[in-house]
Amino acid sequence: MAYRKFRADRLFTGRELLGNDHVLITEKDGRIKSIVAIAEAGSDIEELRGILTPGFINCHCHLELSHMKGMIPTATGLIDFVLKVVTQRDFPQEEIFLAMVSAENELLMNGVVAVGDICNNTDSIAAKKNGRLYYHNFIEVSGWNPAIADIRFEKSKSFYDEYAKVFEGKLNASSHSEAGLSMAPHAPYSVSDELWEKIQPYYNGLTTIHNQESAQENELFENGRGEFLRLYNLMKIENTGFVSTHKSSLQSCLSKLSPAKRVILVHNTFTSQNDLEYCINSFHGSDHQHALFFCLCPNANLYIENELPPVELFRKFNCNIVLGTDSLASNHQLSILKEAQTLSKHFPNIPLEEILQWCTSRGAAALGISEQFGSFSAGKKPGINLIESTFVDHLSENARVRKML
């Protein structure tokens, strides 16, 4: 059997960084054969400059919003960003489809192999059917008014059923499937208790939620005041039945996420030490570190709120950190490398090995696809990227990714 052999300045296995004295050997289709010392590798080695890594995992994306690239100005704050998204939905289907195809091409070009994608409709099915990427489709559910819980659930369930039908035979617990499917609550401030109860049986072991993306989210739950009251008023959302919990939004909703084996908390820009201590004590007991994943989308946070999450706090608590791009409505590109570069720039103490784990093996664990993606273990087809850079001890701003296989 013919093999390909790759040698670079550094080789990141998905867990550890090795030097240029190791060679990655794969089958022609990219299935991993082994990693060996250069003395055992033989001839026909492809010599590369940069860092070899497994394919990247994007744990949070909105493919369906790709047509909105550049339409919303930066630094609006979350409330006005949401208002602009919900009031700019009237676009031709062909335009939406072509934008999603272009976005998927961008993801592929940027070395992404798997995506946790948020779905508020069935628009993205047509773009995903060709199976170029692994998708876990999160059918997003929202409805703050308890009186409309049944209506909102049935609408989301119809989307869920359509995804299940189209990807029938590809939706299962095996990491060798081509797609995953779950229902997901949009955010603590947009899902009523009655609606939470209806969607919990459809977590299917994994769900996700937008968490503490703005300070106003915590203010709403802690004292019942703030900018979200303006959002409800402008969108004519009934809010008279809401009673503040006197706790942060995360502490107010965490128990409703507990039926899932794994939860991806997205953004976490205003998550506190008190919140993390609460998570440790309250979520899945001693197994919380295997269940909770904190997805950081720093470029979207800068785009919308001009803020960054407390990364060093998450590291202090040994949180499972993964990365996402959010949407092209809130980002200039769909690149996991760009997200990692932003974090490396603002938090230079993060070791390169650790941040590359967030891009690969941690993301695969979050989506439940570690048997196929995230590391260079024998038998996997995780994708192979080359981070091309003059420097190989950190992620410089001029680093670029090239998809090798």
SS3 per-residue string spanning the chain: CCEEEEECCEEECCCCEECCCEEEEEECCCCEEEEEEHHHCCCCEEECCCEEEECEEEEEECHHHHHHCCCCCCCCCHHHHHHHHHCCCCCCHHHHHHHHHHHHHHHHHCCEEEEEEEECCCCCHHHHCCCCCEEEEEEEECECCHHHHHHHHHHHHHHHHHHHHHCCCCECCCCCCCEEEEEEECCCCCECHHHHHHHHHHCCCEEEEEECCCHHHHHHHHHCCCHHHHHHHHCCCCCCCCCCCCCCHHHHHHHHHCCCCEEEEEECCCCCHHHHHHHHHHCCHHHHHHHEEEEECHHHHHHHCCCCCCHHHHHHCCCEEEECCECCCCCCCCCHHHHHHHHHHHCCCCCHHHHHHHHCHHHHHHHCCCCCCCCCCCCCCCCEEEEECCCCCCCCCCCEEEECC
Phi, psi for residue 79 in degrees, rounded to 5: -60, -50
Residue scoring higher pLDDT (210 or 167): 210
User: Any idea which fold 56-373 has?
Assistant: TIM Barrel (3.20.20)
- pTM attached to this predicted model: 0.97
- The phi-psi region of residue 21 (left if phi > 0; otherwise alpha if psi is between -120 and 50; otherwise beta) is alpha
Q: Mark residue 143 as left, alpha or beta (left: phi above 0; alpha: psi -120 to 50; beta: remaining).
A: left
Q: How many CB atoms lie within 10 A of CB 193?
A: 11
- Tens digits of per-residue pLDDT, 97-120? 999 999 999 999 999 999 999 999
Reply yes or no on whether the pLDDT at 354 is more than 70. yes
Under the banding of pLDDT at 50, 70 and 90, the label for residue 391 is: confident
End-to-end CA distance of the chain: 17
In the predicted structure, residue 26 carries a pLDDT above the cut 50? yes
Least confident of 49-53, 165-169, 322-326: 165-169
Cβ distance 318 to 289 under 8 Å? yes
Return the CATH number of 1-55+375-405, one of 2.60.40.290, 2.30.40.10, 3.50.50.60, 3.30.460.80. Answer: 2.30.40.10
| C-alpha to C-alpha distance for 247 and 254, rounded to whole angstroms | 11
Q: What is the pLDDT of residues 57-82, one digit of tens each?
A: 999 999 999 999 999 999 999 999 99
Give, in degrees to the nearest 5, the angle at Cα 211 between 243 and 245: 20
| Average pLDDT rounded to a whole number, residues 271-288 | 83
CA distances from 337 to 133, 208, 274, 385, 404 (A): 17, 22, 30, 11, 15
Q: What's at 98, amino acid-wise?
A: L
The per-residue pLDDT for 282 is 86
Predicted local confidence at residue 287, as pLDDT: 59
Mean pLDDT of the chain: 95
Give me the pLDDT at residue 88, please: 83
Q: Distance between CA atoms of 381 and 54, rounded to whole angstroms? A: 9
How do the domains of the chain map onto residue ranges?
A: 1-55+375-405, 56-373
What single letter denotes the amino acid at residue 286? S
Lowest mean pLDDT among 56-60, 253-257, 282-286, 336-340: 282-286
pLDDT band, very low/low/confident/very high, at 362 (cuts 50, 70, 90):
very high
Mean pLDDT value of segment 357-383: 98
Structure tokens at 79: 């409330």
Angle at 201 between CA 167 and CA 214, to 5 degrees: 90
**Backbone dihedral region of 380: left (phi > 0), alpha (psi from -120 to 50 degrees) or beta?**
beta
Q: How far is Cα 405 from Cα 400, in angstroms, rounded to an integer?
A: 16
pLDDT, residue 90, reads 83
pLDDT at residue number 174:
45
β-bridge partners, 10:
51
Q: What's residue 175's pLDDT? A: 45
Which residue, 128, 13, 72, is CA-closest to 331?
72
Residue 274: CA count within 13 A, CB half-sphere: 8
Residue-level pLDDT at 397: 92
Can you give the pLDDT at residue 173?
44
pLDDT at 285: 55
Return the sign of the alpha-carbon dihedral for residues 124, 129, 132, 138.
Answer: positive
Six-digit token string for 178: 């081509």
Q: Do domains 1-55+375-405 and 56-373 have the same CATH topology?
A: no
Residues 219 and 249: their CA atoms lie apart, in Å, by 8
Query: For the ranges 158-162, 165-169, 218-222, 353-357, which has the lowest average pLDDT?
Result: 165-169
